[in-house]
Amino acid sequence: MLYITKRVHFSASHRLFNPTFNDQKNDEIYDKCNNFYGHGHNYILEVTVRGIPNPQTGYVIDLKKLKRILNDTIVDKVDHKHLNFDVDFLKGVITSVENLAVIFWKILKEEIKEAELYKIKLYETENSYVEYFGEPVEVNRF
């Protein structure tokens, strides 16, 4: 089994808050991330698939095709957007890096047919990232 990864980047703004909490509680939990007009990140998304190389091509997956899927289904929809307002598939979601990873997984699982989606690694900052392997997780929508 081989594991192959494509990395893409996007920049987006978001605001972390839970509409069922009052201002004070949102402030306590999310602190600066609760800033009313949002704040930005340069996200890095790494998507790993696994499989056996096709004997005819030598590829587990055509990385050009994987890149196209990542761009069409995620990057083009979130890049230079406000994640709380501009993105249909994030409507009502607390836009934490954890929730983004779960939702990206569901989208990519539908789209990647050539190989098995294995891992999503999503960096919110250079030093903070989440890894997700597709275990069942529910994301609340408010």
Q: Is 124 a catalytic residue?
A: yes
The Cβ of residue 56 has, within 10 Å, a number of other Cβ atoms equal to: 6
Q: Is 33 a catalytic residue?
A: yes
Min dist. Cβ of residue 41 to Ni ion (A): 5
Q: In sequence order, what are the residues at sequence separation of 6 or more whose Cβ sits closer than 8 angstroms to the Cβ of residue 56?
A: none
Q: Using only the alpha carbons of the chain, give its radius of gyration.
A: 16
Residues at the interface with Ni ion (CB under 5 A): 33
Catalytic residue among 9, 28, 39, 80: 80
CA–CA distance, 130 with 39 (Å, rounded to integer): 19
**Based on CB atoms, which residue is closest to Ni ion, 16 or 108?**
16
**Based on CB atoms, which residue is closest to Ni ion, 4 or 33?**
33
Min dist. Cβ of residue 38 to Ni ion (A): 8
**Based on CB atoms, which residue is closest to Ni ion, 60 or 87?**
87
Residue nearest to Ni ion (CB): 33
In a 10 Å sphere around its CB, with 0-12 CB exposed, 13-18 middle and 19+ buried, how is residue 58 labelled?
A: exposed
| Residues known to be catalytic | 33, 80, 124
